[in-house]
């Protein structure tokens, strides 16, 4: 049995130039663990693919000793001392986070951008936060020891966050995890329990753990660690986001992994497929090596694509733009070679604050984006509050809103803005104030009726006049006002809406949800959520044709746009602008560059003749294999 790391072969990873790294020679302070249920033979464990890439190397397990913090009460006389203990733990935690932050400089830029805001959020929670206020109160009023008070308060806050009806469940879980993470740090410091040490991880090793916190991930050195695999964790957590940002091939959520592996076991990890092969046989090892080489080749090819145009083989240009959720993504957009921002979701401006961002604050935020994008187009979508999103200022009555019993069908998107026109006015004014700094367009969310667009345009023109009267210099032609086509109502009234709009952006995420009556975030019905359903495609086709008849620009900015396999169909339907998650751009570009528009148009006609969703899937997934011609 290979439980001695000296027997394991050298680690390999497909990140960056292919390289065979020497494993470190230092011995870990902990002896190799012989886990129960371990098999000596090859074993394949499937998990959640969170960061693509292939890694081959010896396993290095780093499961953390849990903090011993039994529930404990105190006497009234101990309250002051207990509060002091908590203060000391807070000070120590701040110091540790400060060190972590100082270390960020050595990480790749992408990782720094991911980590810095998270560490800042942790530090904020060590200030006058609800967590600490609540914990201090519990020490005093419930006579609890500091660690018990911190644990109880963190769980109470996490439960509150998770009870929120926001449809971004992954986002809620992330926020709850942030609170738990800082409580965990405080508890370890209060109980003097050592943190997991990642210092001894040999170069080229694959880190194996039950769970990895985002702070642990921040300590990983991507030039030393070949891959990461854990028992717990999901694709949308901060840890996953960071591993992606660090470019470390990773598979999380591998049930039973730590039970089955022993330090030094050879591992082949595929972060794209979500597989972890323990103790691979010669065949699996060979397959891993081939995948490793193929991944490195693919990476190099995609990197070269950055500077190449998105043009089909017959010379048709396609515009590939990025969707932006927070300004921190701006450098990624540049790296991906995006031709502008096709969808700037402005919800970030309204989140995590107790008041509304005023015109000035919004002006600054838009100016930052426009300046970064130079002359590239930027499409700013005005607030799309879903009635249940966590925007405290809106839900706490500063701008009274009522989501109604069915928030997705209630006062959402443009409906809210027309009901509270001061919100729309401030946003229009802020965009207009910076319009001369770049190439900006404005997009209206969740429209169903041409009269809504008309009303919004009246407000828009009124705001422009007011600004002009005040002496604000505006471009001669006001930025265009476009409409999201994301409800069946808008799609089927697209010909009428087109007369009121300057451009369309098809939001396939909501269009599929509203067409199929399937909540896009509801796991129980997710099998029915299908943007390739003929009903969705027919609505899209109707809207696209309405726009093209008027020679009006039309793009797709839902998740569909970032899936390379759907590109032939979208181009065939007449779309020439796609806006997507920046990281999807290279692969989509690669697909565009392999296509002929005539083929795409013929293919789309064939797909649109079908009414069976299953058949459409077969055709779309089979494109390029000849199956589409059968």
Q: Both tokens of residue 614?
A: 């299953």
Q: How far is the CB of 204 from ligand PEP (least distance, A)?
A: 40
Pick from 628, 624, 625: nearest CA to 615 = 628
Question: Which of the following is catalytic: 238, 254, 533, 600?
Answer: 238
Q: How far apart are CA 292 and CA 372, in angstroms?
A: 36
**Residue number, 486 or 628, with CB nearest to Mg ion:** 486
**Residue number, 270 or 510, with CB nearest to ligand PEP:** 510
Q: How far apart are CA 505 and CA 544, in angstroms?
A: 10
Q: How far is the CB of 441 from ligand PEP (least distance, A)?
A: 15
Is 510 within any annotated ligand binding site? Answer: yes
Is 509 within any annotated ligand binding site? Answer: yes
**Residue number, 429 or 512, with CB nearest to ligand PEP:** 512
**Residue number, 343 or 547, with CB nearest to ligand PEP:** 343
Is 270 within any annotated ligand binding site? Answer: no
Question: Do the Cβ atoms of 556 and 578 come closer than 8 Å?
Answer: yes
**Could you tell me if residue 322 is left (phi over 0), alpha (psi between -120 and 50 degrees) or otherwise beta?**
beta
For the chain, the first-to-last Cα distance in angstroms comes to 52
Q: How far is CA 9 from CA 251, 399, 572, in A?
A: 21, 62, 49
Q: How far apart are CA 200 and CA 60, in angstroms?
A: 9
Strands (E), 160-316: 206-209, 227-230, 250-252, 266-270, 275-278
Question: Do the Cβ atoms of 541 and 518 come closer than 8 Å?
Answer: no
For the CA atoms of 557, 562, 568, 572, the dihedral, rounded to the nearest 10 degrees, stands at 0
Cβ count near 178 (within 10 Å): 23
Interface ranges with ligand PEP (CB under 6 A): 343, 345, 384, 486, 507-510, 557-558
The reply to whether 557 belongs to the active site is yes
**Residue number, 118 or 494, with CB nearest to Mg ion:** 494
Q: How far is CA 330 from CA 239, 323, 378, 431, 583, in A?
A: 21, 10, 12, 18, 12
- The site map against Mg ion for 430-469 (x = CB under 5 A) is ----------------------------------------
Q: How far is the CB of 558 from Mg ion (least distance, A)?
A: 7
Helix, strand or coil, per DSSP, at residue 106: helix
What is the total count of residues that contact Mg ion (CB under 5 A)?
A: 3
Q: Return the ∠ at Cα 11 (arms to 8 and 16), rounded to 5°.
A: 175
In the block, residue with structure tokens 């065949």: 283
Is 462 within any annotated ligand binding site? Answer: no
Residue 557: which of Mg ion, ligand PEP, none does it interact with, CB under 5 to 8 A by kind?
ligand PEP
Question: Do the Cβ atoms of 228 and 245 come closer than 8 Å?
Answer: no
The reply to whether 402 belongs to the active site is no
Residue 345: which of ligand PEP, Mg ion, none does it interact with, CB under 5 to 8 A by kind?
ligand PEP
Pick from 284, 204, 289, 294: nearest CA to 248 = 204
Q: How far is the CB of 402 from Mg ion (least distance, A)?
A: 20
Q: Both tokens of residue 381?
A: 């979508």
Backbone angles phi, psi at 298, to 5 degrees: -60, -45
Helix (H), strand (E), coil (C) string for 167-185: CCHHHHHHHHHHHHHHHHH
Question: Do the Cβ atoms of 483 and 501 come closer than 8 Å?
Answer: yes
**Residue number, 168 or 596, with CB nearest to Mg ion:** 168
**Residue number, 147 or 486, with CB nearest to ligand PEP:** 486
Residue 558: which of Mg ion, ligand PEP, none does it interact with, CB under 5 to 8 A by kind?
ligand PEP
Buried-exposed string 533-544: b where 16+ CB fall within 10 A, e elsewhere: bbebbbbbbbbb
Residues 473-532 that bind Mg ion (CB under 5 A): 486, 507, 510
Q: How far is the CB of 345 from ligand PEP (least distance, A)?
A: 5
> What is the Cα 10 distance to its own chain's centre?
33
**Residue number, 11 or 558, with CB nearest to ligand PEP:** 558
Is 520 within any annotated ligand binding site? Answer: yes
**Residue number, 388 or 436, with CB nearest to Mg ion:** 388
352: DSSP letter: S
For the CA atoms of 276, 278, 284, 285, the dihedral, rounded to the nearest 10 degrees, stands at 100
Q: How far is the CB of 323 from ligand PEP (least distance, A)?
A: 7
Q: How far is the CB of 510 from Mg ion (least distance, A)?
A: 4
CA neighbours closer than 13 Å in the CB half-sphere of residue 526: 4
Residue 114: which of ligand PEP, Mg ion, none does it interact with, CB under 5 to 8 A by kind?
none
Q: What share of the chain is helix, strand, coil (3-state, %, to 5)?
A: 50, 15, 35
Q: How far is the CB of 296 from Mg ion (least distance, A)?
A: 37
Q: How far is the CB of 322 from ligand PEP (least distance, A)?
A: 12
**Residue number, 224 or 520, with CB nearest to Mg ion:** 520
Residue 185: which of ligand PEP, Mg ion, none does it interact with, CB under 5 to 8 A by kind?
none
Q: Both tokens of residue 511?
A: 């269009």
Question: Which of the following is catalytic: 402, 557, 600, 617?
Answer: 557
Is 345 within any annotated ligand binding site? Answer: yes
Q: How far is the CB of 569 from Mg ion (least distance, A)?
A: 20
Pick from 309, 331, 314, 311: nearest CA to 322 = 331
Pick from 567, 560, 506, 553: nearest CA to 533 = 560
Q: How far apart are CA 115 and CA 238, in angstroms?
A: 9
Report the binding-site residues for Mg(2+).
486, 510
Report the binding-site residues for phosphoenolpyruvate.
345, 381, 509-510, 520
| Site residues, Mg ion (CB under 5 A) | 486, 507, 510
Positions annotated as catalytic residues are 238, 557
Report the binding-site residues.
345, 381, 486, 509-510, 520
């Amino acid at each position: 049995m290979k439980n001695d790391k000296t027997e394991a072969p050298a680690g390999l990873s497909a990140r960056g130039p292919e390289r065979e790294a020497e494993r470190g020679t230092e011995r870990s302070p902990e002896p190799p663990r012989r886990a129960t249920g371990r098999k000596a033979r090859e074993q394949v464990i499937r998990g959640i693919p969170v960061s693509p890439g292939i890694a081959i190397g010896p396993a290095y397990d780093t499961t953390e000793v849990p903090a011993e913090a039994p529930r404990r009460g105190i006497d009234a006389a101990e309250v002051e001392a207990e509060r002091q203990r908590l203060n000391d733990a807070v000070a120590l935690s701040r110091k540790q986070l400060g060190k972590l932050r100082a270390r960020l400089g050595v990480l790749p830029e992408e990782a720094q951008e991911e980590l810095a805001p998270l560490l800042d959020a942790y530090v904020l929670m060590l200030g006058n936060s609800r967590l600490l206020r609540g914990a201090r109160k519990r020490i005093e009023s419930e006579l609890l020891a500091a660690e018990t008070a911190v644990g109880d308060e963190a769980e109470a806050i996490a439960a509150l966050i998770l009870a929120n009806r926001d449809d971004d469940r992954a986002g809620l879980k992330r926020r709850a995890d942030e609170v738990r993470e800082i409580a965990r740090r405080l508890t370890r410091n209060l109980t003097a329990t050592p943190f997991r040490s990642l210092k001894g991880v040999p170069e080229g090793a694959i880190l194996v753990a039950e769970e990895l916190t985002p702070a642990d991930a921040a300590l990983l050195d991507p030039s030393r660690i070949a891959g990461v695999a854990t028992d717990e964790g999901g694709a949308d957590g901060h840890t996953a986001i960071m591993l992606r940002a660090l470019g470390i091939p990773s598979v999380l959520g591998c049930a039973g992994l730590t039970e089955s592996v022993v330090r030094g076991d050879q591992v082949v990890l595929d972060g794209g497929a979500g597989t972890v092969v323990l103790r691979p046989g010669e065949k699996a090892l060979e397959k891993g090596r081939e995948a490793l080489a193929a991944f490195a080749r693919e990476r190099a090819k995609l990197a070269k694509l950055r500077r190449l145009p998105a043009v089909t083989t017959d010379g048709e240009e396609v515009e590939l733009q990025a969707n932006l959720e927070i300004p921190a993504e701006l450098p990624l957009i540049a790296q991906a070679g995006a031709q502008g921002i096709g969808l700037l979701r402005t919800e970030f401006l309204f989140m995590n604050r107790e008041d509304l961002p005023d015109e000035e604050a919004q002006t600054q935020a838009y100016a930052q984006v426009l300046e970064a994008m130079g002359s590239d187009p930027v499409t700013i979508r005005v607030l799309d509050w879903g009635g249940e999103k966590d925007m405290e200022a809106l839900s706490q009555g500063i701008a009274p809103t009522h989501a109604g019993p069915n928030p997705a069908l209630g006062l959402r998107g443009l409906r809210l803005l027309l009901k509270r026109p001061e919100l729309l006015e401030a946003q229009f004014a802020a965009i207009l104030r910076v319009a001369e700094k770049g190439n900006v367009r404005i997009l209206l969310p969740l429209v169903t009726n041409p009269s809504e667009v008309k009303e919004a345009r009246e407000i828009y023109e009124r705001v422009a006049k007011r600004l002009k009267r005040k002496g604000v210099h505006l471009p001669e032609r006001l930025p265009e006002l476009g409409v999201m086509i994301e409800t069946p109502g808008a799609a089927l009234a697209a010909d009428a809406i087109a007369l009121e709009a300057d451009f369309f952006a098809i939001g396939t995420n909501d269009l599929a949800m509203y067409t199929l009556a399937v909540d896009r975030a509801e796991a129980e019905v997710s099998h029915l959520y299908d943007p390739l359903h003929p009903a969705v495609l027919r609505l899209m086709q109707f809207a696209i044709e309405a726009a093209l008849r008027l020679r009006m620009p039309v793009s797709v900015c839902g998740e569909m746009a970032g899936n390379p396999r759907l590109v032939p169909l979208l181009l065939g339907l007449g779309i020439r602008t796609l806006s997507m998650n920046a990281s999807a751009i290279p692969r989509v570009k690669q697909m565009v560059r392999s296509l002929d528009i005539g083929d795409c148009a013929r293919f789309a006609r064939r797909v649109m003749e079908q009414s069976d969703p299953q058949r459409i899937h077969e055709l779309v997934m089979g494109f390029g294999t000849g199956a589409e011609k059968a």
